[in-house]
Amino acid sequence: MAAYGCKNLVFSSSATVYGWPKEVSCTEEFPLAAVNPYGRTKLFIEEICRDIHRSDPEWKIILLRYFNPVGAHPSGHIGEDPRDIPNNLMPFVQQVAVGRRPALTVFGNDYSTKDGTGVRDYIHVLDLADGHIAALRKLSDPNIGCEVYNLGTGKGTSVLEMVAAFEKASGKKIPIVMAGRRPGDAEIVYASTEKAERELNWRAKYGIEEMCRDQWNWASKNPYGYGSPE
Ligand code: UDP
């Protein structure tokens, strides 16, 4: 990039760099930790970005820490289509709703949360996309340096709340099976959104109802994603 005179970068990082946060909401100043190999890739690349900027301050870098992106494009033509068994909650719920899997396994119902299930900050992919546009605008600020922003809604939603919202949006029953905690999972993670609101002039517009509505629209139109039935 430097060889071609491009010294502006927006990096897709992740809230996973907060590890198991001791408290919420997570501010950008929280200590960072890698608690799984995926998180380590994000943390290392963040560090590399900070080093690039230190070594050559002409670089302007924005690190965006995504919380839990869900939903789909409202057209129903673009959405998530994981290969194999989905690791993430909402793609799995979606596959149960269209009849590709019999039930959702809920990983842990003994957390210190409102209903015992894990709490996350789900963010609509449209809001996430807008956050990137806001970040690109911010790169025109000559004083930007290397900055980090959370992209989340600031609201925590439990697994069971998310399942209920998806059932409402789809009219489908999502059978669940309770299981033990998934190793490495944090209990409660949600964003502090103040810095992004203040400095990027961006905030999430959509709630879990719209996320589930648009995800169901994509799923019901494309039950096998971009492929054909297995
Ligand atoms: N989860 C679950 N069943 C699944 C997948 C996820 O109960 O099949 C839970 C998981 O334990 C967590 C939440 O859903 O509390 C979000 O998980 P996801 O993997 O989507 O995001 P992450 O844990 O990386 O934030």
- Report pLDDT digits (tens) over 12-61: 999 999 999 999 999 999 999 999 999 999 999 999 999 999 999 999 99
213 lines ligand 1 (CB under 6 A): no
92 lines ligand 1 (CB under 6 A): yes
- Report pLDDT digits (tens) over 66-95: 999 999 999 999 999 999 999 999 999 999
Please confirm, yes or no, whether 190 is among the known catalytic residues. no
Residue owning the nearest CA to atom 15 of ligand 1: 118
Distance CA(1)–CA(127), nearest Å, equals 28
Domains in the chain with CATH codes: 8-70+85-219 (3.40.50.720)
Expressed in angstroms and rounded, the spacing between residue 165 Cα and the centre of ligand 1 is 15
Q: Is the pTM of this model over 0.85?
A: yes
Pairing status of strand 119-120 against strand 157-158: antiparallel
